[in-house]
Structure 1
Amino acid sequence: MIRREGIAMVDVNAFDAVQAGLNCDHPEVWLFLLRALSKGQPVSRTSIAEALAMSLPDVEVALGTFADTVYDDNGDIVACGLSLLPTPHSFKVCGKELYTWCALDALMYPRALDQVVQVESRCPVTGSRVCLTVGPTGVSYVSPAEVVLSMVIHGKKGGCCNVRSSFCSGVHFISSKKAAATWMSQHPDAFILSVPEAWQLGNTVVQRRLEGAAGVTGHD
């Protein structure tokens, strides 16, 4: 059951709506990019083509479905959900400080990377620091203890990396239920999830992508 913490019930179909909005047409490219970016270096189109046995034109077509992807001056990828460029959500993996586009990404990616990750963010309401330890099987540490996530329903299928403005900009770690009530008063289209609920949502999305990317090679 999804609920607005202490405020009002939310339609149970919200889970399905969020999942549908985060579809991924090329999960094998998404997974390779995620794992390559986690090494802390830009990713070239050529490396994608070689790792996935794709032609460069096919790589271009796939990348065209990830419209929010960020490139450097050399044309290499520096952000596609996981980012080499700073965002409000710090994501420390294997000793490298990276970033994610939203709070849900920070809960999803440890499963896809099969790594334990240190996440640090700021509550957009209070400005207070939020810290989590997230692994492939769940969240083992969260501070403050009352942290929840703000969430929005993307109105249409936007693709896994095409929703930065319409979805990611509304998905944050909120430091407490009181702060969440303030956020809800300012963002009536949002709803609130507990950390376990949000992790379960992200895990379901990642599981679908991993199944779609079965057989991906060259990302170790």
Structure 2
Amino acid sequence: MTIDIDVLDTQHSDLDDTFRRHAFEHLRDSGAVEVIDVVATSPGGAESAQRTLDVLVARGMAIIENDRLVAFDGLSIQPTKHRMRLGDDSLFTWCPADAVGIPAALGEDGEVVTACPYCSAEIVLSIHAGEPQGDADLILWLPTANCSHVVTQFCPDVNFFCSREHLDAWRSQAGNPEGETLSAEGAAELGRQWQSSRRPHEEAAAARWLDPRPRSDQRPHRRNEGVRLPT
């Protein structure tokens, strides 16, 4: 069975976001980590952490190899075509939206190194305190079709282009796929929305950890401000 995932929807109220932050920080700080260790030390408890990890792996939002977590929520220690410097850490991401959105969400300095898929020119984007700096002509392409596995079905087509002209030429060659465009700042804002959307869930999880009585969760609505292009 497959499920449709709206990858532009940053809300995941069914998951343990305290574990997601915990696993992300472990991967950034330590590189590949033993799954048994990162699950056992999760602030929200091992059962919730394992359930969340299983869901994320099935959705293509986490990768485990040889019982070690090697990629999680877009951050990867395995080489990809998108390099990211986050503070003093040299890492990789599944797509340039992650490479911009992660430092933006954390408010950190960074640098993104990727390439235009149309002309293969290297693209370097600096980020200062979470704010992209530099080339205003850069344009990010985001597919809008739902998928069942993020890293294999969505991320490969998320790319920065040198210009609108290069994006249009690429879309023409690719059969005019459906999608949206964002500026570098728009990609940063998407990362900030992702971060802010997780805070209420983390606070709710912490409250349930202290007070396990049942309560209802309300899932907030997020508006995507991207520009949808016609098919």
Whether the 8 Å contact between 1:42 and 1:78 is mirrored in structure 2 is: yes
Give the total of aligned pairs: 192
Whether the 8 Å contact between 1:184 and 1:191 is mirrored in structure 2 is: no
Q: For residues 32 and 154 of structure 1, do their structure 2 counterparts lie closer, same or farther at Cα, with a shift above 3 Å needed?
A: farther
Give the drift of 1:176: 1.2
**What is residue 86 of structure 1 aligned with on the other side?**
79
- Worse overlay, 96-105 or 25-34: 25-34
Q: Deviations over 1:124-151 (max 9, x none)?
A: 1110111112245421x234x4111011
Give the drift of 1:121: 0.4
Which residue of the other structure, out of 46, 52, 74, is the alignment partner of 1:62? 52
**What is residue 125 of structure 1 aligned with on the other side?**
118
**Secondary structure of 2:99's match?**
helix
**What is residue 71 of structure 1 aligned with on the other side?**
64
TM-score normalised over the length of structure 1: 0.76
The higher relative CO (CA closer than 8 Å, separation ≥ 6) is in 1
Whichever residue aligns with residue 113 of structure 2, its letter is: E
Equivalences for 1:173-212 in 2 at 5 Å? Answer: 173-185=160-172, 186=174, 187-212=176-201
Whether the 8 Å contact between 2:109 and 2:130 is mirrored in structure 1 is: no
**Secondary structure of 1:71's match?**
strand
Whether the 8 Å contact between 2:105 and 2:192 is mirrored in structure 1 is: no
Aligned CA RMSD, in angstroms, stands at 2.5
Give the drift of 1:99: 0.5
Whichever residue aligns with residue 196 of structure 1, its letter is: E
Whichever residue aligns with residue 44 of structure 1, its letter is: E
Unpaired runs of 5+ residues, structure 1, are 1-16
Distance 2:63 2:153 in 1: 16
Give the drift of 1:216: 8.6
Give the drift of 1:207: 1.3
**What is residue 49 of structure 1 aligned with on the other side?**
40
- Worse overlay, 175-184 or 129-138: 129-138
Equivalences for 1:154-165 in 2 at 5 Å? Answer: 154-155=145-146, 162-165=149-152
- Worse overlay, 164-173 or 130-139: 130-139
Is residue 152 from structure 1 mapped to residue 143 from structure 2 by the alignment? yes
TM-score normalised over the length of structure 2: 0.73
Distance 2:19 2:129 in 1: 20
Q: For residues 138 and 169 of structure 1, do their structure 2 counterparts lie closer, same or farther at Cα, with a shift above 3 Å needed?
A: same
Which structure: larger Rg? Answer: 2
Whichever residue aligns with residue 51 of structure 2, its letter is: V
**What is residue 23 of structure 1 aligned with on the other side?**
11
Equivalences for 1:92-107 in 2 at 5 Å? Answer: 92-107=85-100
Whichever residue aligns with residue 11 of structure 2, its letter is: N
Distance 1:171 1:154 in 2: 12
Distance 1:94 1:194 in 2: 22
Unpaired runs of 5+ residues, structure 2, are 1-5, 207-231
Q: For residues 90 and 215 of structure 1, do their structure 2 counterparts lie closer, same or farther at Cα, with a shift above 3 Å needed?
A: farther
**Secondary structure of 2:85's match?**
strand
Which residue of the other structure, out of 139, 144, 153, is the alignment partner of 1:166? 153
Q: Deviations over 1:55-81 (max 9, x none)?
A: 2x43221101112222232x1101111
Distance 2:112 2:71 in 1: 17
Whichever residue aligns with residue 96 of structure 2, its letter is: A
